Amino acid sequence: MTVKHLSVEYNKVNERGTFSPGDIITGRVIAVTNKETKVQCFLVRAKGKAEVTWHEQEGLTTVVHSDKKEYFYFEHIILQDKNKGDGSEIIGPGRNVYPFTFKIPNIVMPSSYEGKWGKITYSLRAQLTQSIWLVHKTKTEFPFLTKAEFPFASKSEMIIIGLKEQQCATRISFFGSGKVTMNVTSERMGVKQGEAIGVSVEVLNDSTRTLTPRFYLCEKQTFVAQSKRTVHSNDILFGTGDSVPAGTSQTITKVMSIPPQTPPTFFNCCMMKLEYRLKVTLDVPLARDSEIKLPLVILLGSPKPHQQKPKRSIWFRKLPG
């Protein structure tokens, strides 16, 4: 083994270390050898792609659903022998550095993402071929951000209009022990990564049970391959509110801080999309329709502290009768 080390590095173009359509990515391939090394081909590639794969059981048969889409592919040949395989190109002993430059196409592409059954990746790969039996490979991924301010706008322009609007929903449920009315309000539909949003629930508990609201962030990942579709959902519990005794009503507000690493909402990939909801539930045993979901769009942004302090019990009164 004459090649001791092979790596590919890139230079950052901003503080975030991310790239976007139209950016130029520069870097270097580093090869360390312990003596003169003949090579057949030495190259570096830049690639952007999306791919999905999942398995389904149909009877005794396992069916694989998969698909992929390539956004761009570039190749830069560092060294290649002129006689098609005689190993006439030479890499000197020691540390050898080979610079490269690629321009990322200025087209609509989704941001980097990795979900349950699919991912969107942007990468640099170097390959050094000494012979058909001796090939050295290395790879590094670079984070990519779409230029689209609203990568979900293609689904509905009304989403953009409603990002700053208050969201409200009401549900009236009838149980064996009585009627319960739940009103849920969120400050707005759009929230940036790292920001917080206040969610209020008003519970009119005209039943014989004590009820406790729970607050969730619901994630929905959708994957598509060859006209087939699958969904992966995940609920993140953000907290539990004060209990509402039987025959009383109470309003509780929970401040939900969106983790900075939460991937933003997106619809601009033909094979996958990511959506969110705010969900409030009441722990009523064996009851249906005891939850409310409100739309939530998570936007790209820097983490910011929430200025407002959470309001706990706003009011508490005995129901008449």
CATH C-level class of 3-141: mainly beta
CB distance 13 to 19 below 8 Å: yes
CA atoms within 13 Å, Cβ hemisphere of 78: 26
User: What's the confidence (pLDDT) of residue 171?
Assistant: 87
Q: How many CB atoms lie within 10 A of CB 75?
A: 12
Q: What is the DSSP letter of 313?
A: E
- Is pLDDT at 61 greater than 50 in this prediction? yes
CB distance 12 to 20 below 8 Å: no
Architecture of domain 157-318: Sandwich (2.60)
- Grade residue 147 by pLDDT with cuts at 50, 70 and 90: confident
Q: Could you report the per-residue pLDDT of 162-214, keeping only the tens digit for each?
A: 688 888 999 888 776 788 999 999 999 889 999 999 999 999 999 888 899 99
- Is pLDDT at 312 greater than 50 in this prediction? no
CB distance 270 to 153 below 8 Å: no
User: What's the confidence (pLDDT) of residue 86?
Assistant: 54
Min mean pLDDT across 37-41, 62-66, 220-224, 307-311 is at 307-311
Main-chain dihedrals φ then ψ at residue 158, nearest 5 degrees: -65, -25
Average pLDDT for the chain: 86
Residues 191/304/218/310 CA torsion (nearest 10 deg)? -100
Where do we find the tokens 């801080």?
257
- Is pLDDT at 283 greater than 70 in this prediction? yes
Domain boundaries, the chain: 3-141, 157-318
Q: Could you report the per-residue pLDDT of 210-235, keeping only the tens digit for each?
A: 899 999 999 999 999 988 999 999 99
Same fold: 3-141 with 157-318? yes
- Grade residue 89 by pLDDT with cuts at 50, 70 and 90: confident
- Is pLDDT at 311 greater than 80 in this prediction? no
What are the DSSP E strand ranges found in 81-192?
89-91, 94-103, 113-114, 118-131, 134-141, 167-175, 178-186, 190-192
